[in-house]
Chain A
Amino acid sequence: KAGVTQTPRYLIKTRGQQVTLSCSPISGHRSVSWYQQTPGQGLQFLFEYFSETQRNKGNFPGRFSGRQFSNSRSEMNVSTLELGDSALYLCASSLGGTDNEKLFFGSGTQLSVL
């Protein structure tokens, strides 16, 4: 069974631009979560989607948004990029049926904002 796939693997943008990241969950998984990882802040929760609906959201500004499609694939978008948005963006999937489930992570998209 294929794991969580994230594209692109690396991305370089400039301040003010916007970016869209893509995530394909493990087949059969209906929940997709997004995390931002930086050396200073560690892993921080962005949001979680289940059945095309955002179920939970972390403490990030409105410039960070996401969506989920009917096939459970998800995208996240960051508008008006800032230097501080440089980070590894990780997507994780789970079955989504119960409260306590292990998350399976992709390899991430490394975003650099210049």
Chain B
Amino acid sequence: GESVGLHLPTLSVQEGDNSIINCAYSNSASDYFIWYKQESGKGPQFIIDIRSNMDKRQGQRVTVLLNKTVKHLSLQIAATQPGDSAVYFCAENNYGGSQGNLIFGKGTKLSVKP
């Protein structure tokens, strides 16, 4: 079936460096993508989203890039801080399904070294 996957299960970066977390999706019909951050003991927290009619979207210290040609999504975190340590999930809408049905990737664990 269709699925969203992540290239790297773990990522370790130095505090202050930029982080890039990648995600591949297989459903070319998906038109909405979200990045979530999940800290230990908490539910996923919305970071940023992007629709398929956009290539790039910026938030506070975060940027999401969408490459529909190769079905690739990335999350860039600028000046990574210890508080950014968490598991990051990309998710795509289940095209053809109704609201509230997102397909999540397996997650990438980001560790920030002080």
A residues sitting closer than 8 Å to B (CB atoms) are 4, 31-33, 35, 42-45, 48, 50, 55-56, 58, 90, 92, 94, 96, 98-108
Contacts and interface: CB of A to CB of B under 8 A. Distances in A.
Given A100-B32, A100-B51, A100-B93, A33 B100 contact: yes
Contacts of B107: 42
B34 A48 contact: no
Interface of B: 31-32, 34, 36, 41-46, 49, 51, 89, 91, 93-94, 97-107
Given A42-B106, A42-B107, A100-B32, A55 B45 contact: no
Contacts of A102: 34, 46, 49
Q: List the 4 shortest-distance A-B pairs measured between CB atoms, nearest first.
A: A105-B43, A33-B100, A48-B100, A100-B32
Nearest to A42: B106
Nearest to B46: A102
A98 B93 CA distance: 12
A27 B21 CA distance: 33
A25 to B, nearest CB: 11
Q: Which of B46, B51, B100 has the most CB of A within 10 A?
A: B100
Given A45-B94, A55-B99, A103-B100, 4 more contacts: A31-B99, A103-B46, A105-B43, A107-B42
